[in-house]
C-alpha cells in the first residue's frame, strides 16, 4: 500500500543551485514606443475631449505602474536537470543520451514503485473475487518494477506501431513476426497487467481528488517535474490541446476545428519559443462549477499561479480575454495580450466606435 508520505514527497520541488535572478538583470530598457511591455489602457476618450487624451495608435497610453513592470523571474530562464536528490546535472550532459534518460526524469524509481504497489493491491482484490488473469495455481503474480517498465514501454510502442487488433502484436505469422511485444512479454501477462493497472491507491484519500482521482497524483507529479526542469522565457501562451482517445469516458470531448476531434481536452501553459509544456490540466466538462469571473478566468489563473508577480507576458485567444482577467494580471505584475470581441462584457465602450476599428 502506497503511503501518503511517499506521495507527499513527490510534490516537493527541489531547490535550484542558482540564486534568484535580480531585477537589474532583466530590466527592459526600451522606450515606450518600442517596448513590447506596453499594455493599452481602456480609458480612451472620444475625439471631443482634450488633445492630451486623444486615442493614439502609435503610442499606447499606460499608467506609470504598468510601465514599470520588468521581467524578474525567481531563477534565470533555462533548463535545470536534476537527479532524485535535486542535485544539478548540468556538468554531466552526456548522461542524457537516450529518450529513456529523459523518461526517467518523470517516471522515477519512486513513481514506478507506487504503480507496482497500487496495481498489486488492486490485483489481489480482484483475484480474490474471481481468478481471472491469475496464474495457473490460482494466485495473482505480482508485477515488479522491471516488468512495469517493460509494460509501459510496450504501451508507448503500441501507440506508434499500430495493428488492427491487439492480439496481432503476438501473431507468429510472417506479416507480424517482427513486432516487439512477443519477445518482451507474453500476451496473457500483458492483458493481465492491462486489466489490473492502477495508478492510485483507492484507500489513500491523499491520492484521490476530484473527477480525475484515479490519476490525479501522477498528473500533479508530472506538472511539478515539468516546472522543476525548466524555467520558461518571458513569453508564455495559454491554449487548448486535444489528446486523442477512443475510451468511453464522460470527460472525452469533441472539437470540430481541431485535427484531433475526439479525445481529452487539455488546458496548456506553454513556452512558445521552445514548445515546452510548462503546465497542463484536463477539462472534465461543464459539470465543474466556475468561479464568479467564469471558466476562462479560472483556467488562466490556475495555470499561471507559479509565474505571477515576475513580469511574464501571457498570450491567449479571445476565449480567455476579459477586462477582469487583464486587470487581475496587471495587478499581479503580469502582462497579457490577446484577441478580443466587442460583445464581451466589460469591453470599453470607447473602443466599440467604428472609427477606431477602421484605424486599427
Domain boundaries of the chain, sorted by first residue = 28-69+233-360, 107-198
Q: Grid coordinates in use for 91?
A: 556538468
CATH class of 28-69+233-360: alpha beta
> What is the dihedral sign for C-alpha 79, 84, 86, 87?
negative
Band of pLDDT at residue 2, cut at 50, 70 and 90: very low
pLDDT in tens, 237-287: 999 998 887 777 767 777 777 777 788 889 999 999 999 999 999 988 776
Residue 263: exposure state from Cβ atoms within 10 A (0-12, 13-18, ≥19): buried
Closest by CA to 251, choosing from 241, 266, 239, 270, is 266
Q: In this predicted structure, which of 31-35, 74-78, 199-203, 302-306 has the lowest mean pLDDT?
A: 31-35
Residue 108: exposure state from Cβ atoms within 10 A (0-12, 13-18, ≥19): middle
Tell me what the mean pLDDT of segment 181-202 comes to: 91
How high is the pLDDT of residue 317?
A: 92
How high is the pLDDT of residue 357?
A: 65
How high is the pLDDT of residue 23?
A: 34
Q: Against a cut of 0.75, is the pTM above it?
A: no
- The span from the CA of 273 to the CA of 235, in Å, is 8
Tell me what the mean pLDDT of segment 177-197 comes to: 91
pLDDT in tens, 337-355: 998 887 777 777 777 776 7
How high is the pLDDT of residue 300?
A: 96
- The span from the CA of 44 to the CA of 59, in Å, is 12
Q: In this predicted structure, which of 109-123, 163-177, 255-269, 279-293 has the lowest mean pLDDT?
A: 279-293
Tell me what the mean pLDDT of segment 109-118 comes to: 95
Amino acid at each position: 500500500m502506497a503511503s501518503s508520505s511517499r506521495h507527499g514527497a513527490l510534490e516537493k520541488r527541489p531547490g535550484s543551485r542558482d540564486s534568484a535572478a535580480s531585477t537589474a538583470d532583466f530590466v527592459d530598457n526600451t522606450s515606450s514606443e518600442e517596448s513590447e511591455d506596453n499594455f493599452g489602457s481602456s480609458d480612451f476618450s472620444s475625439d471631443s475631449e482634450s488633445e492630451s487624451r486623444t486615442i493614439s495608435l502609435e503610442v499606447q497610453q499606460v499608467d506609470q505602474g504598468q510601465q514599470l513592470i520588468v521581467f524578474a523571474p525567481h531563477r534565470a530562464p533555462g533548463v535545470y536537470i536534476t537527479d532524485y536528490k535535486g542535485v544539478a546535472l548540468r556538468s554531466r550532459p552526456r548522461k542524457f543520451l537516450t529518450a529513456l534518460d529523459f523518461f526517467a526524469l518523470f517516471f522515477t524509481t519512486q513513481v514506478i514503485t507506487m504503480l507496482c504497489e497500487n496495481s498489486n493491491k488492486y490485483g489481489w482484490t480482484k483475484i480474490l473475487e474471481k481468478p481471472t488473469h491469475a496464474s495457473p495455481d490460482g494466485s495473482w503474480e505480482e508485477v515488479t518494477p522491471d516488468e512495469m517498465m517493460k509494460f509501459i514501454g510496450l504501451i508507448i510502442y503500441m501507440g506508434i506501431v499500430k495493428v488492427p487488433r491487439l492480439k496481432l502484436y503476438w501473431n507468429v505469422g510472417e506479416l507480424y513476426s517482427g513486432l516487439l511485444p512477443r519477445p518482451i512479454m507474453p500476451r496473457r501477462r500483458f492483458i493481465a497487467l492491462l486489466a489490473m493497472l492502477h495508478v492510485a491507491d483507492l484507500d489513500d484519500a491523499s491520492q484521490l481528488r476530484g473527477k480525475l482521482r484515479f490519476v490525479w497524483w501522477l498528473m500533479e507529479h508530472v506538472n511539478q517535474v515539468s516546472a522543476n526542469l525548466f524555467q520558461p522565457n518571458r513569453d508564455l501562451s495559454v491554449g487548448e490541446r486535444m489528446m486523442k482517445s477512443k475510451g468511453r469516458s464522460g470527460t472525452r470531448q469533441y472539437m470540430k476545428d481541431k485535427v484531433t476531434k475526439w479525445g481529452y481536452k487539455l488546458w496548456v501553459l506553454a513556452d512558445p519559443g521552445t514548445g515546452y509544456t510548462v503546465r497542463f490540466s484536463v477539462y472534465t466538462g461543464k459539470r465543474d462549477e466556475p468561479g464568479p469571473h467564469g471558466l476562462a478566468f479560472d483556467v488562466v489563473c490556475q495555470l499561471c499561479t507559479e509565474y505571477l508577480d515576475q513580469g511574464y507576458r501571457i498570450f491567449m485567444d479571445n476565449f480567455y480575454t476579459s477586462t477582469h482577467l487583464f486587470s487581475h494580471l496587471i495587478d499581479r505584475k503580469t502582462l497579457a495580450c490577446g484577441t478580443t470581441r466587442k460583445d464581451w462584457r466589460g469591453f470599453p465602450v470607447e473602443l466599440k466606435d467604428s472609427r477606431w476599428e477602421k484605424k486599427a
